[in-house]
Amino acid sequence: MQVNRLGVLAAIAAMLAAAPALAQPAPEPIHPAPHIAPWPNLGTGQSERQVEASLIRGPELQRSQSAREMLAERRRLDAALAALQPQRRGTIDAYVVAIALDSDPVFSREAREAGNVLTRRYGAEGRTITLAGPDGRSAGLAKGSLTSLTLTLARIAELMDPNEDVLVLYSTSHGAPVGLAYHEGDTGYGILAPARLGSVLGELGIRRRILLLSACYSGVFVPLLQSPDTAIVTAASASRTSFGCQAENDWTFFGDALVNNALRKPQTLAAAAAEARQSIAGWEATNRLEASQPQVVFGDAVAHWLPMLEARIPRSATAPVGTPSVNSLRPAAR
């Protein structure tokens, strides 16, 4: 029997045209999932000391995640990583990572604008990745997590020249004496301990780095992360809390002072850090808050490359955005 091939192809085309279109993934909601469930026990061991020691390894727990949301999230991260550009030989390139490790929207808002400010400051267009979930106003970025941060750092290590280029990491979240807290709704939990971050950076050979850490107790990172080629600015000492992390805020105290004001200006990182510390101290004193004691530590070798990177800082300042963080502590006018 002879088959009319053109007729068969026409029939198939007609069937395909009549079939319903493949379902497209639903857009990510702009409002983040709230924290309702209690924090799970992430440590392991038979004694309290063993449990505490296990947290140094940077545990991460994911549970009850939607399969479709997991796939959509991986696609967002893969696309962001694929868009990163390689370094330019003979140029000190900055690779900027701005990450919100907690789904409270203040952190996503802060990370998004920190990514913008740091990209402009260090000429990192095409070499910036912002990891932040929905913030109540916008969505669509890959979310911050311990896994997404680790994968991002690994990809940057493939693209950068460790003898020439610089990692600029801005992280914002709640913190604890053991490290930075990762908390995504009621589905993601983790601890980014100083030892874990240090081991990842060491494994990847990322030596030149600017670490800007916005969290309570973030000074705990200084002893293990300081090195000749590292500049660290933290929101608090290892024993103090920081302020302004209410979910409805646009900024934490640290983010507002350092990113939204000081780093927008054509001044050095050291001068910006000093300005931020002074601003934060004033806000805390005015509101009778215990001093957070931000830490600023620059390794000796930072002076060899940071001036060349900062020589490209734009000569004009940009205006702060959002509501000042200190306003959240003042009662509304009647």
Q: For the segment 71-124, what is each residue's pLDDT rounded down to a tens digit?
A: 999 999 999 999 999 999 999 999 999 999 999 999 999 999 999 999 999 999
Q: For the segment 22-37, what is each residue's pLDDT rounded down to a tens digit?
A: 455 567 889 998 999 9
In sequence order, what are the residues at sequence separation of 6 or more whose Cβ sits closer than 8 angstroms to the Cβ of residue 260? Answer: 113, 117, 251, 320, 321, 322
Regarding pTM above 0.95, the answer is: no
Q: Among 20-24, 128-132, 222-226, 254-258, name the one with the lowest average pLDDT.
A: 20-24
Top pLDDT among 79 and 14 is at 79
Residue 323 has pLDDT above 60, yes or no: yes
Residue 161 has pLDDT above 90, yes or no: yes
CB–CB of 163/145 below 8 Å? no
Instruction: Flag whether 320 is in a domain.
Output: no
Strand arrangement of the beta sheet that strand 175-176 belongs to: 60-62, 188-192, 179-184, 175-176
Instruction: Flag whether 326 is in a domain.
Output: no
Domain CATH for 142 = 3.40.50.1460
Tokens standing for 32?
Answer: 């983040």
Q: For the segment 39-52, what is each residue's pLDDT rounded down to a tens digit?
A: 999 999 999 899 98
Q: What integer pLDDT is reported at residue 22 of this predicted model?
A: 45
Which residue, 131, 185, 177, is CA-closest to 156? Answer: 131
Residue 11 has pLDDT above 60, yes or no: no
Residue 38 has pLDDT above 90, yes or no: yes
Instruction: Flag whether 149 is in a domain.
Output: yes
- How many domains does the structure of the chain reveal? 1
- The parent domain of residue 104 ranges over 93-315
Instruction: Flag whether 72 is in a domain.
Output: no
Count of helix runs (H) and strand runs (E) in the chain: 10, 10
Q: For the segment 289-317, what is each residue's pLDDT rounded down to a tens digit?
A: 999 999 999 999 999 999 999 999 999 99
Which residue, 198, 201, 130, is CA-closest to 166? Answer: 201
Q: Among 88-102, 243-257, 319-333, name the one with the lowest average pLDDT.
A: 319-333
